[in-house]
Structure 1
Amino acid sequence: MTNLRLIIDKILSTTLIIIMGIMVINVLWQVFSRYIIGNPSPFTDELARYLMIWVGVLGAAYVSGKNMHVAIDLIPSRSSEKTQKQLKVIVNVLVIIFCLFALVIGGFRLVYISYELGQQSAALQIPLALVYSILPISGLLIVFYKISNLLNK
C-alpha cells in the first residue's frame, strides 16, 4: 500500500502544480486583457473560480495524505502514548465516515443531479457535473489516505 500511496502522492502533487500554473496564467491573462488591451476576457473569472475550488478540495486531500492538516492537539499532547494512538484511530475513523457521507455520497449525488439537469457553466459552457466531480474524487482520496493510516499504525 505504501507504493500506491507514493504514486498517488506524486500524481496529486503534480496535478496541483499544473492547476496552480494554469490559474496563474489565467489571472495574468485577465489582468492583461482588462488593463492593457481594454477588453476583459469573458471566461477567465469563471475559470479562476473553478480552478480555485479544485485546488482547495484536492489540496485538502493532499494535505490529509501528508498528515499536515490543522489540528487541535490540546488533549493528545497531555495524554499518554496509548491514549494518543487511540485518539488517532478515532479521529481517522470519524474523518472516513465524514468523507464517505459528505464528499463521496453527497458529491456523487451533486454530480448526478447536475448531470441529469444538464447544468452548464455560464461563460465556459462546460458541464457543472465536471466541476463538481472533484468532490467525490477528493473524498475517495481522503478515505484512501485515512485507511492507509489505520493499516500502518
Structure 2
Amino acid sequence: MSTSNSFFNKVVRFMEIFLIGIFALLVFDVLFQVFSRYILKGSFSWTEELARFSLIWMSILGAAYLNAKREHLSMDFLYRKFSDTTKKKVSIIIEILIFLFALIVMVIGGFNLVYTTLHLGQLSGTLRIPLGYIYAILPFSGLLIMWFSIYHINKISKNQITD
C-alpha cells in the first residue's frame, strides 16, 4: 500500500468516526428533546437548533465521504454499455465535473457565505453560535471533494479503479 493510499484511508476512516459522532449527537439530542417535551413537560429551544446544525454537518460531510468511497448516487445504465477505454474517459470527465462543482459552489461560494456571515456577525437564534462556523463545513467538504476527485483521477489513469 502506497503512502497516498494510507493517508487517503486514514482520512476516510477519520471521516467515518466523525460522522458517527455527529449522528450519535443528533440521536441523543432528539431523544433528549422528546424526553423533555413529554416527561418533563417542557421543551428546550436549543435542542431543535442543535439537531438542525448536526443534520447540516452530517449531510454535507456525508456527501464528501460518499465521494471518497465513490458511492454517490449515479444512473449508470448508459455508462455500463461503454467500452473500457470509454468508461475510463467518461469517469475522468465526471471527476473533473465533480471537482469544478466543488470548487465553484462549495469552496468559492462556501467561503463567501462564511466570510459574509462572520463579517455581519450573524448568530444562531438560541445557541448564539456565529453562523459562519456552522457554514464552514461547506468549503471544508468542498476541499475534501476536490482532493478526492484528484485522487480518483490519478487512480483511474493508472487503471487502479474499476467500476
Q: What's the TM-score once normalised by structure 2's chain length?
A: 0.92
Matched, 1:8 2:36: no
**Stretches (4+) displaced over 6 A:** none
The superposition leaves residues 63-95 of structure 1 with CA deviations (integer Å, 9 ceiling, x where unpaired) of: 110001111112211111110000000000000
Structure 1 counterpart of 2:38, from 31, 35, 38: 35
Identity %: 40
Q: Give 5+ residue unaligned stretches, structure 2.
A: 157-163
Matched, 1:122 2:128: no
Give the letter for the 2:38 counterpart.
Y
Partner residue in 2 for 1:17: 20
Secondary structure of the structure 1 residue equivalent to 2:73? coil
Partner residue in 1 for 2:160: none
Give the letter for the 1:45 counterpart.
E
Q: Following the alignment from structure 2 to structure 1, what is the Cα–Cα distance between the partners of residues 9 and 33?
A: 36
Q: Give 5+ residue unaligned stretches, structure 1.
A: none
Deviation at 1:33, TM superposition (A): 0.4
Deviation at 1:152, TM superposition (A): 1.4
The superposition leaves residues 89-147 of structure 1 with CA deviations (integer Å, 9 ceiling, x where unpaired) of: 00000000010000001000000000000000001000000000000010011111110
Give the letter for the 2:17 counterpart.
T
Give the letter for the 2:116 counterpart.
I
RMSD of aligned residue pairs (Cα, Å): 0.6
Q: What's the TM-score once normalised by structure 1's chain length?
A: 0.98
